[in-house]
Amino acid sequence: MQPHVESFFDAQTSTFSHVVHAGPGTPCAIIDSVLGYDPKSGRTDTRAADGILAYVQQQRLAVQWLLETHAHADHLSAAAYLRQRLGGRIGASGAIRNVQRVFTGIYNLPADYCAEHGQFDHLFQADEAFTIGELRACALHVPGHTPADLAFQIEERLVFVGDTLFPPDVGTARCDFPGGCAAQLYRSIRRLLALPGETRLFMCHDYPPSGRKPIAECSVAEQRAANIHMHDGVGEGDFVAMRNQRDAQLDMPNLLLPSIQVNIRAGVLPEPEGNGVRYLKMPLDVL
C-alpha cells in the first residue's frame, strides 16, 4: 500500500500540517493542524484549517484520525475544529497527562478542565500500532522536546517526526519546556536516525534561512550527513551541552501561553462565559 502525503505550510507559525492517505476516496489522517490566532486582537481564524478541509473534501477522504505529535507551544491546534467539520478521532500520546497535570496547575484551571482524556479521543501507549484505513501505522514514543512527543511511522518508510528534528540546516527542537530533557531527545532522535537511510522524514516545522524555501521532508540519510546538531558522530554529551546552552538563550515562544492552554485539551477552546465570550488565562511571573 503506497501512502500519499499532502503537506500544508502555515507561514505565520512556520508549521507543516500533513494529510496522509492511500488515494482519493480512502480514509486519512490529518497531522498537526493549525488554528490561526492573533495575540494582538485575541482573534482566532480557520484559514489554514479550511485549506486542509477543502483538500480532504476534494479528494473525498474520510477523516479517521486527527493526530497531534505533542502539545504544541507555538500554535493552537485546529484538531477540534476539524473534528467538528469532518469527523475523526483526535489522538495524542498518553504521556500528555503529565503535560496536562503541570499546566492545569500553572493556569489554576478547574480540576475537570482535562477530565477523562481531556477531549482527546485516544491516548496512544508508547509505540502502539494502529491503522489509517489499510495503511499500517505506529505511534513511536520520542520524548525530549516534551515528555509526550510522538513520531507517527506509516508503512515503515514514512515518519512524521513532530518536534524532534528540523531540516538539517536548522537542527533540532528546544528541550527547556516543563518535562523536556536534552538527553532523552538525543536518544529519541538516534532511534529515528537508525531507520533505513531512504526513510522519508516529514517535518512539523521549518525556519529557513533567507533565500531558502520551507522543506516539508528529507531523508534519514540527509539528516545523518548534515543535521547541524545531530549528524553522525555527535555524541550524547556534546549534544546535551549544546542544546542546554542554546535553550538558555531562547525567548519563550510568542504563543506559548495561549497555545498550551488550548492544546492540553485537543484544541477545544474554553467554554464561553455568561456573556458568550471565551477567555484565555494569562499567568504572570510563572514561566
Q: Kindly tell me which of 21 and 75 has the beta carbon lying closer to Fe ion.
A: 75
Q: Kindly tell me which of 72 and 243 has the beta carbon lying closer to Fe ion.
A: 72
Touching Fe ion, residues 169-198 (CB under 5 A): none
Query: CB-based burial of residue 253 (10 Å sphere; 0-12 exposed, 13-18 middle, 19+ buried)?
Result: middle
DSSP per position, 155-194: TTTEEE-TTSB--TTT-B----STT--HHHHHHHHHHHHT
Q: Pairing state of beta strands 150-154 and 135-141?
A: antiparallel
Of the listed pieces 23-31, 157-165, 218-226, 266-274, which binds Fe ion according to CB under 5 A? 157-165
Residue 149 binds to Fe ion (criterion: CB under 5 A): no
DSSP per position, 217-276: EEEHHHHHHH-TTTSTT--HHHHHHHHHHHHTTPPPPTTHHHHHHHHTTTTPPPPP-TTS
Touching Fe ion, residues 40-79 (CB under 5 A): 72
- Contact residues for 100 (Cβ-Cβ < 8 A; gap 6+): 114, 118, 264, 265
DSSP state of 18: E
Q: Kindly tell me which of 21 and 72 has the beta carbon lying closer to Fe ion.
A: 72
Of the listed pieces 113-121, 159-167, 242-250, 259-267, which binds Fe ion according to CB under 5 A? 159-167
Closest CA to 140 of 163, 124, 120, 155: 124
Q: How far apart are CA 37 and CA 255, in angstroms?
A: 8
Q: Kindly tell me which of 14 and 199 has the beta carbon lying closer to Fe ion.
A: 14
Residue 10 binds to Fe ion (criterion: CB under 5 A): no
Q: Kindly tell me which of 250 and 277 has the beta carbon lying closer to Fe ion.
A: 250
- Binding residues for Fe ion, total number by CB under 5 A: 2
| Minimum separation from the CB atom of position 179 to Fe ion (A) | 12
| Minimum separation from the CB atom of position 30 to Fe ion (A) | 17
Q: Kindly state the cell numbers that stand for 16.
A: 507543516
Residue 163 binds to Fe ion (criterion: CB under 5 A): yes
| Minimum separation from the CB atom of position 173 to Fe ion (A) | 6
| Minimum separation from the CB atom of position 143 to Fe ion (A) | 12
Q: Kindly tell me which of 30 and 99 has the beta carbon lying closer to Fe ion.
A: 99
CA distances 136 to 3, 18, 151, Å, are 10, 17, 14
Q: Kindly tell me which of 149 and 217 has the beta carbon lying closer to Fe ion.
A: 149
| Minimum separation from the CB atom of position 47 to Fe ion (A) | 21
Chain contacts with Fe ion (rule: CB under 5 A): 72, 163
